[in-house]
Amino acid sequence: MLIIPAVDIKNGKCVQLVQGIPGTEQIVIENPEIVAEEWENKGAEILHVINLDGAFGRSSKNLEVVKKILNTVSIPVQLGGGIRTLKDAANLLDIGIEKVILGTMAVENPEKVEELSNEYGSNRTIVALDSKDEKVVVKGWTEKTEKSAPELGVALQKRGAGGILFTNVDVEGLMKGFNINPLLKLLKAVDIPVIYSGGVTSLSDIEELSLTKTYGVVIGSALYKGKINFEDALKYQ
C-alpha cells in the first residue's frame, strides 16, 4: 500500500484546511516545491498535490507552483483541484503530471473520463469520489449528489477510470480517525485501485488500511502536525 503525502496548495503556499473549508488553514508553509522535495527525500514514491484554489473555482491559479514542484522532484505527481474541462486535464498531463484526479467533471460528465482515458490511458486517469453521509459530493464538497461512491465507482470504472481517490469527507481534516466501512463497500464494488483519504491520524489507522485491498493512502494533517512519522508509516508500504 502506497503511503502518499499530500501537498495542498492555496495562494501559492502549502496549507492544510479543516473539512476543506476556506479560512480554516492550520498549517501554512512557503515554497511548496521544497515541501515536495522533502517528502521525496524521506522516501515518498508519489506525491498527492491538490490545487485548492482550483477546487474553489480558480483553476489556473497555482499552475506556476505546480510546475516548480515538477521541476524539483523526480517522483510521479498526481494532481487534482479545479480540473473542469478535458483541456485542463490534457494541459496538466502534457506538462508532466503523471495522473490527473477528476472530481466534479467525472461525476457530472462521465463521458469525459472515457475520452481522456482513450487519449492518455486509463492509468493516468483517476476519479475522485468524495463521500459525505455516504453520498458523493461535488464542487468543492458544497453540493451533494444522490449517488453513493460504490454506484459511481462501478459506472466510472466502465467509462475507463484507472483508479479512484475516495475521500471520506465526514472525517477529513478532523484528526479523529476514520470509519472504514464506507471504504470497504467501495472496495467490494470495484476492481480498479482505490486510494483512501480522510481522517488517517495514527499508525494503527494505516495498519487497518493495509489489511484491506486499499492501493494507497493519502495523509495530510497528521504528517504536518507530527501525529504520524512518515518513515514509520513506510513500514506499511
Which residue has better confidence, 32 or 171?
32
Q: Is 8 a catalytic residue?
A: yes
Average the pLDDT over each of 23-27, 153-157, 230-234 and give the range with the smallest value: 23-27
Q: What is the pLDDT of residues 39-85, one digit of tens each?
A: 999 999 999 999 988 666 555 678 899 999 999 999 999 999 889 89
User: What is the model's pLDDT at position 60?
Assistant: 65
186-211 average pLDDT score = 96
- Indicate if the pLDDT at residue 20 is higher than 60: no
Catalytic residue, from 53, 88, 130, 170: name it: 130
> Which residue in the block uniquely carries the three cell numbers 494507497?
216
Would you say 78 and 101 are in contact if contact means Cβ atoms under 8 Å apart?
Answer: yes
Catalytic residue, from 8, 94, 191, 205: name it: 8
Residues 6+ apart with CB under 8 A from 235: none
- Indicate if the pLDDT at residue 23 is higher than 80: no
Q: How far is the C-alpha of 37 from the C-alpha of 46, rounded, in Å? A: 11
83-100 average pLDDT score = 95
Q: Is 232 a catalytic residue?
A: no
- Indicate if the pLDDT at residue 197 is higher than 60: yes
Cell triple for 139: 464542487
Q: How far is the C-alpha of 56 from the C-alpha of 140, rounded, in Å? A: 6
Domains of the chain: 2-231 (3.20.20.70)
Given its phi and psi angles, is residue 135 left (phi above 0), alpha (psi -120 to 50 degrees) or beta?
beta
Q: How far is the C-alpha of 43 from the C-alpha of 90, rounded, in Å? A: 29
The packing angle between helices 181-189 and 149-158, to 10°, is 30
**In the chain, % of residues over pLDDT 70:** 90
Q: How far is the C-alpha of 10 from the C-alpha of 62, rounded, in Å? A: 7
User: What is the model's pLDDT at position 59?
Assistant: 54
